[in-house]
Structure 1
Amino acid sequence: MRLPLIGTLKLRGRLTLYVTLLAVAPLFISTWLGVSITQEMMQEQVHEMLRIEAEGLKDLVEASLAERETSVRSWAEDALLRESLQRNSYALSDAVLSRLQLRYTTFTGLVLFTEDGKAVSASTPALRESFEGQEAAVRDAPWFKAAQQGRFTSATLTQEDPVFGMQVLHLAAPVMESRGGRRMGVLLAAYDWGQVGEVVKAALARARSRKNESFALEVRNGAGSVLFDSRGEKAWSIPNAVAVEAINGPEIPDVGDGWRFVALSDPEEVYATMNKLRAGTAAGVMAAAALAILAALLLSRGITAPITRLSQVVRRIVQEGDLTQKPDVRSDDEVGELARSFVQLVDHLRETTESLQRGTQVLTDTVAELTRAAEQEESNLTRQAAALQQTQVTAQEIKQTSEVAADRAAAVLMVASRAEELGQGGVRALAESMNGFQTLRDQVNEMSEQISGLNERAQRIGGITLTVKGLADRSNMLALNAAIEAVRSGEHGKGFGIVAKEIRTLANQSIQSTGQVGGLLEDITQAIHKTVELSEQGKLRMEAGLTQARTSGESIEALSGIVQDNMNAVRQISNAVSQQNAGINEIFGALTDLSSLMHDTMVGLQATQRVSQSLREVAEQMQHVARSYRV
C-alpha cells in the first residue's frame, strides 16, 4: 500500500524515517508506559493519602460525638438534676451544671429545661437569663422535640445559634424519673462545633509539611450542606479538585450518621511532582529522538551514495540508449555486488538487442504478408455474408408468409369443423322435427275423431233434453189438471192440490233447467263445429309443413355432404401448409446456422486482423526499441 506521505520520499528519506521510527518508537512507548504507570501510582498514593485523612477525621469526629452523646445521657440521669426538677429547687442543679462546664470545656454551656420549655437551671446565670421568655421557641426547636423522643439531631448545626452566638451542636437528652419513667424535663449540652478545627490541625500540619498548601477538610451532612470547612468562612473554590470522602456509617450510632467527611486538594499542587517528571521525561525523549534522527541521516547517506551513482548510469542508459555505459562503484558490500550484476545485465541486454534487431525485420515482413492475406479473405467473406444476409431476409419473409397461411388454414379448418358439426346437428334436428310432425299429425287426426264423436254425443244429449222438456210440459199440464180437480173436490182435494202444486213447481224448474241445458248444448255444438273446422285447417297446414320439412331435410342432407367434402379438402390443405411451414422452418434454421457460422468466421477473421495489427504494432515497437540502443 502506497502511503500518502511516505510514498513520495526517496530511499534516503525512507531509510532515515524507518531508522528513526525503529529507534524512537520503542523509546516513546516505554517512556509513555513508564510515565502512565508512575502517574497512576502517584494518583493512587494521593487518593490513598486523602482517604486516610478523611477516614481519620471521620473516626475522630465519630468517636468524639459518641463520647459526648454518652456523657449527655449520663448527665441527664444525675440524681441531683431529677431532685431539682421534683422539688422545683435548682441550686443543686446549677452547681452540677457549673461543675460539668468547668470540667468539659468543649461545651459552651449546659441548660436544664422543664417540659414546657422553660430554662430553670444553667451552667451560668447569664445563660439561663438568655433563655427567659423563649419557651415557645424552645418547644419548637428540632433538638427539643428530638430530645422528647429520646434521640439526638443535627438539624440546627448549619446555622449560628442566636443564644450562644456561635455554631453549636445541640445535644439534648430527656430527664426521666428514676422509678415511674415519666419525663420531667430536657438537659441541653451545647457542643462547640469550632472544636472540630482543633481536631483537624494535625492533618493540616501534615499536609503543610508535604508542601500541600491547598489541602482542606470538609464535613457535610446527608443533604450535602457544609457543616465544617477547614478553610474557614472565606473558603476558596478549587476547580477540578481531587476529593475523597468517607461516610459515617451506622456501625457506631451517633448524631453524625450519614455525614460525609471530605479530604480535597488542588490537582496542580498534588500532581506537581508528576508534572515535573513528565516534562523532564519529554525533554529526554526529544533529545534522544534528535540524536536518532542525526544517526539515521548519516547511515542513510552512506547506504544511498553508491546507489545514487548506479542510478545515474541507469538514467543515461535509459535516456540516451547507450549500452556502453558502466557504473563506477568500488564497494565489496551488497551495493558492489549489485553494480557487478548490473554490468552483466547490460552485456546480456546488448546481445539481446542485436538479436532483437535481426528478428524484428523478419517479423515485420511476415506480418505484412499475413495482413494482405487477411484483407483478401475479409473481402471474400464480406461478399458471401451480404448474399447470405439477403437470402436470410427472403427466407424470413417466406417463413412469415407460411406462418400466416398456416394460421389461416387452421382458422378455416376450425370454421369447417364447426360447419360440419352444425350440419350434422341440423340433420339430427330435422329428423327429430319430422318425427315430431308425424306424431303431431297422428295426434291431430285422433283429436279430430274424438271431436266428431263428441259432436255426436252432444246431438244425442240434445235429443234427450228435448224429450225431458216434453215430459216436463206434460207434467206441468197434468199438475194443472190435478189442481183443478182438487179444487172441485173441496176439502178432500186440498192435500192432492198441494202435491199437484209441488209437481207443477218441479215441472217449471225442469223446464227452466232443460232450457239452460239446451242453450249450453247449442254453445258446445257451435264450439265443436269451430274446433272441427280448425282441426281440418290445422291438418291441412300440418301436411303442408311436413312436405316443406321433408324438402328442407333433403337440402340440409345435401348441404351436410358438401360441408363434409369441404372439410376433407380443408384438412388436406392444412396438412400441406403445416408440412410446408415445417420445411420452411428447417430452411430458415439452416440459414440461421449458416449465418451464425458466417458471423463466427467474420469474428475470427476480425480477431486475426486485430492480432495482425497488434503484431505489426509490436514489430514496429520492437524495431523502435532495438534501434534506440547503441551496441
Structure 2
Amino acid sequence: MDTVWMLLPWCVAVVGIGYLGVVNFHLRKDAQRLHQHDERLALAVHGAEDGLWEWDVGTSEVYYAPRFKEMLGFTDAELPSVFSSFESRLHPEDKDRMYHNLQEHFERKGPFDAQYRLRTKVGDYRWFQARGQASWGADGRPLRVAGSIRDITEIKEEESQLRKGVSVLASAISQITTSVAQFAGSTTETATSVQETAVTMAQVKQMATATGQKAKELSANAQQTAWVSQTGEQSVQEVQRDMRRLREQMEMISQSVTRLSEQSQTIEAMISLINDVAEQSNLLSVNAAIEAAKAGEYGKGFSVVAKEIQGLAGRSKQAAAHVRQTLSDIQKATAETRHVTAQGVAAATSGVQRSVEAGDAIHILAQNITESTDTIVQITSGSIQQLRGIEHVTLALDNIRNASIQSVNGIQQIERAAQDLQQLGHTLTRLLRLS
C-alpha cells in the first residue's frame, strides 16, 4: 500500500507529462492550421488586391494591412495606425457622404458599402470601394468595424468615359429623335402633297383626255373644213369660168345687138325709100287718074290701073308706117338690150373680178385651214403624248406615294427605336449615377 502511494505521484507525473505532450501536440497542430489559415487568407487578400482594415470605434485605433498601405504608396512603417491617417487623406467632397454612409450603417446595421477618394503618397487622388461590417455591444453601440478597400480608379475613369459617352449618345439620340420627328412630319407632308398632286394629276389627266377628245373632234372638223374649203375653191374656180363664159356671151350678145341696130338703121333707110316710092306712086296714080279722066273712054282702063297703083301705094305706105313703128320698137328694145347687155358685161366683169378675189381669199383660207389642220393634228398628237406622259407621271406619283407611306412607316419605326435608345440612355445615366 505504501508502495502504491509512493508510485502514485510518479504515475500522476507520467500521466500529466503524457497529457501535456498530447496537449502540446494538438496545440502545435492548431498553430500549424492557424498559420496555414493565415497564409491562405493573406494569399486570398493579395490575390483579390484588397486592403484589409479594422477600426476600434472606442479607442480610434485602426489596423491597416500592408496591402492597404501599399495601395496608397506607403510602406508598412510609413502610415500610422490611427483613424486620422485615413480621415486626413479623404477627399473633401467625399467626407460628408462617407460619414453619412457610416452613420446609416451604425443605425440600420446593414452592410457598409461606400465609394470615396483617398490621397496617395505622391499627392494624387484615387477612387476606392470600401466594404465592411460592424459589431455592436449589448447597449447597441458599435464596437468595432472591419472591412476592406479596393482600388476602383480605372473603373471610375471608365465610368466617367462611359458617362460622357452616354451623354453624347443621349444628345445624339435626342437630335436624331428631333430630326426623325421633323423628317417624319416632312415625309407626312410630302405624302400628303403627293396625294394632293396625284389627285390634281388625275384631274389634269381627265382634262387632258377631254382635251384630246376635243382635239380629235376639232381635227376631224378641221379636215372636213379643209375639204369644204377645197371644194369651195373648186366651186369658185368653176364660177369664175362660168362668169368668164357669161361675159363672153354678153359681149357676143352686145355685138349682135350692135349689128342688129346697124341693120335696123339700114332697114329704116330702106323703109324711108319705100315710103318715098309709095308717095311718088300715089302722086303718079293721081296724075294718071287725071290723065285718064282727060282721056275719057280711052282712059278708063288706065284709070283702073291708076287706082290699083294708088291703092298699092297706100298699102305700101301703111306697111312702111307699120314696119317703121315695129322697127322703132325694135330699136327701143335694142337700145334697152344694149344698155342691159352693157350692164351685164360690167356685172360679169365685176363678178369675175370678185370671184377672182373670192378665189384668192378662199385659197388663202384653204392654206390657213390646211396649216391649222396640220397644227391641230400636231396638237392632237401632242395631247396624246401628253396624256401618255401624264399617265407615266401618275404612275410615278403612285410609286412615290407608296414609297412615302413606306418611308413614313420606316421613319416611325426609326423614331420608336430612337425613343428606345433615348430611354436606354436615360437608364444608363441613372445606373451610372447610382453606381
TM-score tier, shorter chain, comes to 0.3 to 0.5
More helix by share: 2
What is the TM-score with the length of structure 1 in the denominator? Answer: 0.31
What is the TM-score with the length of structure 2 in the denominator? Answer: 0.44
Higher RCO (C-alpha 8 Å, min separation 6): 2
